Amino acid sequence: MLFPVKAGLLIDRPVGQVHAVDDVTFQLKEGETLGIVGESGCGKTTLIRTLVRLLTPTAGTIRFRDQDITNANRKGLEPIRREMQMVFQDPQASLNPRKRVIQILGGPLRMRGVPRDHIESEARELLGRVGLQPEHMNRFPHEFSGGQRQRIGIARALAVDPRLVLLDEPVSALDVSIQAQVINLLDELQDELHLSYVFVAHDLGVVRHVSDRILVMYLGKLVEVSSAEELYDKPIHPYTSALLAAIPIPDPEENRARERPIVSGEPPNPVSPPSGCRFHPRCSRATEVCRQVEPQLTQYANGHLAACHHPQHVSAEEIAAAARSPTSPLSSGEQAPAAD
């Protein structure tokens, strides 16, 4: 995904380009929850907005249920959007303040083809399902708390009876106790309705709790893909380790006991990303090769993918058995990762 960088006061003139998401390939299985993590500016939000085609990718393809939707027009997208819905981070900003809940839910219900005289009963059922009182359907969004508004956002997404729900930081604006309620609600809905989720968040604790598989992104690149358990037990990429180490554990003794190599610096400007491995300026393991060659996405055992020249938590045999992933970016080098 390319974005032009513009300058000028009255007339914008493009002065550069940002590769917000750069050669990222992955698949989502039916019924799976895929977590996407990374710091601000890593491209995670751009990625899922492109998936629902709120943005059109510069290059590449998006296939949904074997249908190429990369360049589908508005009309072509209509049936897709009935199966693919999005829940946004800020429920305050993503609900129309002038519409009552029944109107907010009515639109997508009509889109699903619910007859006019059934809309109210359907809306009541939806509200009950997300843990709100059906009597509140004539209220406006401002009459609800943040957590309740997020439930309305979830109800709206569910109104068209989708198969896939894309969640962009759905709980990060909420208080901890309310976060737990919403996470539990999402879990329950997935079990009942057999939904697939793409869950974007910067909080690795939350992402691990909900995800089956996790993608870690850094400056527009995929750096690691793994099952949720394995990612936390044996992170291969140093950036993943750094993210994990940065999370404070709510247990004083464990917190004091564990080693926490704090990663220095900040993510660089995506307009001019570093050469080679984009993480090398902040990485303690970086060597000359990291500065020069973009690491290939390498496939290790259990479908664990990582793009690093100096992988951690893998033995020499595992490295020898690993192979370049077919989804490795075209710009990446041919160099196989080295054992320590």
Partner 1 sequence: MADEPLLKVEDLRVSFTTEEGVVHAVDGVSFTVGAGEVLAIVGESGSGKSVTVMSLMGLTRGPNARFEGRALFEGRDLIAASDAELRKVRGAEIAMVFQDPMSSLDPVYRIGHQIVEQIRAHEPDVSKAQAYDRAAELMERVGIPRAGDRLRSYPHEFSGGMRQRVMIAMALSNSPQLLIADEPTTALDVTIQAQILDELRRLSAETGAGIILVTHDLGVVADIADRIVVMYAGRVVEQGSLDELFYDPQHPYTWGLLGSITRIDRDRTQRLPAIPGLPPSLLTPPEGCHFRPRCPHAFERCIEVPGLEARLPQAPEHIDRCWLEPERKRELRQVGDQIGLASPESVGS
Q: From 193, 171, 220, select the one nearest 50 (Cα to Cα).
A: 220
Pick the binder of partner 1 from 33, 148, 226, 332 (CB under 8 A).
Answer: 148
Which segments of the chain are extended strands (E)?
A: 2-7, 13-19, 33-37, 63-64, 67-68, 84-87, 164-168, 196-200, 213-218, 221-227, 298-299, 305-306, 323-324
Q: 92: which 2 tokens?
A: 């305050």
Considering only residues 67, 96, 121, 264, which one is a binding residue for partner 1 as defined by CB under 8 A?
264
In the chain, helix, strand, coil percent, each to 5?
40, 15, 45
Nearest distance, CB of residue 189 and partner 1, angstroms: 13
When binding is defined by CB under 8 A, the residue of 115, 176, 259, 330 that contacts partner 1 is: 176
Helix (H) or strand (E) holding 50: helix 44-51
Assigned token pair, 299:
């496939």
Q: Does the footprint of partner 1 cover residue 228 (CB under 8 A)?
A: yes
Does 212 contact partner 1 by CB under 8 A? no
**Helix ranges, 168-315 (H):** 176-193, 204-210, 228-233, 238-246, 252-257, 288-292
| Helix 101-111 with 119-129: angle, nearest 10 deg | 110
Any contact of residue 251 with partner 1 (CB under 8 A)? Answer: yes
Q: Which stretch binds partner 1 (CB under 8 A): 61-69, 247-255, 287-295, 298-306?
A: 247-255
CB of 264 to partner 1, least distance (A): 7
**From 77, 245, 289, 293, residue interacting with partner 1 (rule: CB under 8 A):** 245
Q: Which is nearer to partner 1, 249 or 323 (CB)?
A: 249
The only residue of 8, 97, 113, 252 in contact with partner 1, by rule CB under 8 A:
252
Give the span between the Cα atoms of 119 and 157, in whole angstroms. 15
| Among the listed residues 15, 111, 247, 316, the single contact to partner 1 using CB under 8 A | 247
Radius of gyration of the chain (CA): 22
Binders of partner 1 in range 27-46 (CB under 8 A) = 39-40
Number of residues that bind partner 1 (CB under 8 A): 45
Interface residues with partner 1 (CB under 8 A)?
39-40, 145-148, 175-181, 183-184, 187, 202-206, 208-209, 228-229, 232, 242-255, 260, 262-264, 266
